[in-house]
Amino acid sequence: TSSDTTSESTTGPSIDPDLLVWLRFEAPDRDAFANDGVLAGTASCTAGCPSVADCLATFDGVDDCLAYPHHDELVDTPVTLAAWVWSTLDSEGMFLLGKATGDGSQNTWELYLNHEILTGQRLGFEMYGPPDVAVSTPITFGSWRHIAGTWDGSTLTSFVDGQQVGAADNTSTSFDEHAVQFGCDHDDEADAYHFQGWFTDVRIYRRALDATEVAELAAIVPADPG
């Protein structure tokens, strides 16, 4: 049977045992970065801290970034990355969430935004095996967008607003003990590609959610930022 994967943060839904990381940003201070997933713990600020209000984390695009420490359960396993995102900048490459590997620019898995001259802003979901395998699709903002990427051990699949938008074959992944980062990448041992905009309901599962489950996560749209 499928587990409850809805994003009702105030009514206390039963927690999917595969929901490892769940950032809901419910507190107005550092406790806002508590992980309500089964791994528990707290994300920390790598430099600047995003401000938090009304269950939204606001990233400034300059130095705001969060890191959640490595756990063995986060690697060498199928995965789902999901979040509600509202970008306020459409002319830069920006990192959403991912887990670096090695001392270069690779990531075990990552969701990011990239701007291309001909096609505008695009959402990317990428894994490093090697080689790098990525799927990319156009995306626009001005409102909340639910973004997700799943990997079942053989296929990367990306989703926007609960609809599948891309897929690619991939059967391997590389990993180490780097932290999971939210709002900036960790390239060449330094933070880069800082995100500007809002995050809420950020999730990492140790399984690939199916299309119905992803659509359920995308069904309850957050309130607009105040």
Provide DSSP, 70-110: --GGGSSS-EEEEEEEEES--SS-EEEEEEE-SSSS-EEEE
Predicted confidence (pLDDT) at residue 193 exceeds the cutoff of 70 = yes
| Residue 73 contacts residue 180 (beta carbons within 8 Å) | no
Task: Look at residue 223 and tell me if it is in a domain.
Answer: no
Q: Scanning the structure block, which residue is given the tokens 């979040």?
A: 83
| 195 domain residue, yes or no | yes
Note whether residue 3 is domain-resident.
no
Residue 162 structural domain: 19-217
Structure tokens at 221: 């749209």
Could you tell me if residue 4 is inside a domain?
A: no
> Residue 106 domain-assigned?
yes
Give pLDDT, residue 13: 52
> Is residue 219 over pLDDT 50?
yes
The residues facing 53 across adjacent strands are 56
Q: How confident is the model over 123-152, as pLDDT tens digits?
A: 999 999 778 899 999 999 999 999 999 999
What is the reported pLDDT for 185? 95
**30: confidence class by pLDDT, cuts 50, 70, 90:** low
pLDDT mean over 70-93: 93
CB distance 174 to 101 below 8 Å: yes
State how far the Cα of 91 lies from the Cα of 116, in Å rounded to an integer: 8
Residue 33: partners with Cβ closer than 8 Å, 6 or more residues away: 23, 25, 42, 43, 44, 45, 52, 66
Give how many domains the chain has, as a whole number.
1
pTM score of the predicted model: 0.91
Specify the CATH number for the domain of residue 195: 2.60.120.200
194: amino acid identity, one letter: H
Q: Is residue 202 part of a domain?
A: yes
Q: In degrees, to the nearest 5, what angle opens at C-alpha 9 toward C-alphas 44 and 72?
A: 45
Provide the residue count of the chain: 226
- Would 160 be classed as within a structural domain? yes
d(CA 196, CA 199) in angstroms, rounded, equals 10
Helix segments in the chain, DSSP class H? 211-217
Structure tokens at 125: 């979901």
User: Tokens 């938008």 label which residue?
Assistant: 165
* 11 falls within a domain: no
